[in-house]
Amino acid sequence: MHSRVPMVTVLALMALMPLFSGAVDIRQLRQLTAKHNVTCVLVFGDSSVDPGNNNRLPTTMKGNFPPYGKDFFDRRPTGRFSNGRLATDFIAEAIGYTKIIPAFLDPNLKPTDLLHGVSFASAASGYDDLTANLSQVLPVSKQLEYLKHYKLHLSRLVGVKKAQNIVNSAIFVLSMGTNDFLQNYYLEPNRPKQFNVEQYQNFLASRMFEDIKEMNRLGATRVVVVGVPPLGCMPLVRTLAGQNTCVESYNQAAWSFNAKIKEKLAILKKTIGIKDAYVDCYGVIQNAINNPKKFGLVETSKGCCGSGTIEYGDSCKGMTTCADPSKYAFWDAVHPTEKMYRILADEAIASLDGALIG
């Protein structure tokens, strides 16, 4: 399975900015981002933030067919592993740039689209290059290579100096990690032979650390890292474990890894001076699962596609879906609904204090 449920991304509202039922003060947010010269959003990661890059790759990890995209503009499947938009799309809309963050590999991408930000993310990827290689998708190293291509295209559009300024003032979003555990460590034999769970978490955290240092070398000054979700609460994981409740061991692995992410971010802030923020995807999704009515949700234990217990990606193709996805936390047995992504985006914006863009 590929994607991270998690979610997303960025931008900083003051901590005191209120969030009631997902209501964010958009005007204040836009004033803040303008004041601090935030230029665009550049996205790296897995299916939680891939708007369709995998459509162009020789991989089976795709979502560019119905019922994916059922509630997207024109009911169009784009490659997003959801019924509609992703959290990064909602963030871009909130700060006033565009209603969607396009895929960098989208053949219909226009030069002017580059100004508002793009996603280099690839469903089924992870911090561990082996994770991406298992599914023939883009590892972080390749996503960063495409960032260099992006800078070249941007330079041709606005000149080298302005292009560099756009990258320096962008918000970089990094959202991945789920597949490293679910598609790799818990499924394939190689990594468990090399590492126990804690050692593998340390390995992944060190890879993330190096990835952000490379982003900084390429111009990043503001980075938002999205933690991994409660893996044991995914419908597919619960089904495979034969449990009606969340699988605690998987949740513990996710929680512990997130703690290591935060430790590395603190070190990065001290050593290279990068402004960073952490989005508690785990806490947001767990809160929604434990308190569904608070978020207008009814079903949090299964997805909307097919039986909701095992289908995702190819196995979701052509399946019937639930009547009202906005009442569901999960669209398929792995990935969130547009409603859940909106909750993630709103909570992410509201939880960030001014440190990122202040």
Spot the catalytic one: 46, 180, 211, 332. Answer: 332
Residue 305: closest CA among 292, 288, 317? 317
Using the structure block, give the residue that is written with the tokens 């190819």.
Answer: 314
Q: Would you give the distance in Å from CA 196 to the centre of its chain?
A: 26
**99 with 90: CB under 8 angstroms?**
no
Spot the catalytic one: 82, 180, 335, 351. Answer: 335
Residue 341: closest CA among 330, 352, 333, 351? 330
Spot the catalytic one: 3, 46, 47, 82. Answer: 47
**224 with 275: CB under 8 angstroms?**
no
Residue 297: closest CA among 347, 236, 343, 334? 343
Beta bridge partners of 299: 328
Q: Please confirm, yes or no, whether 335 is among the known catalytic residues.
A: yes
Q: Tell how strand 41-45 and strand 299-303 pair up.
A: unpaired
Q: Please confirm, yes or no, whether 314 is among the known catalytic residues.
A: no
**336 with 82: CB under 8 angstroms?**
yes
> Phi/psi of residue 63, each to 5°?
-140, 40
Which residues are catalytically annotated?
47, 332, 335
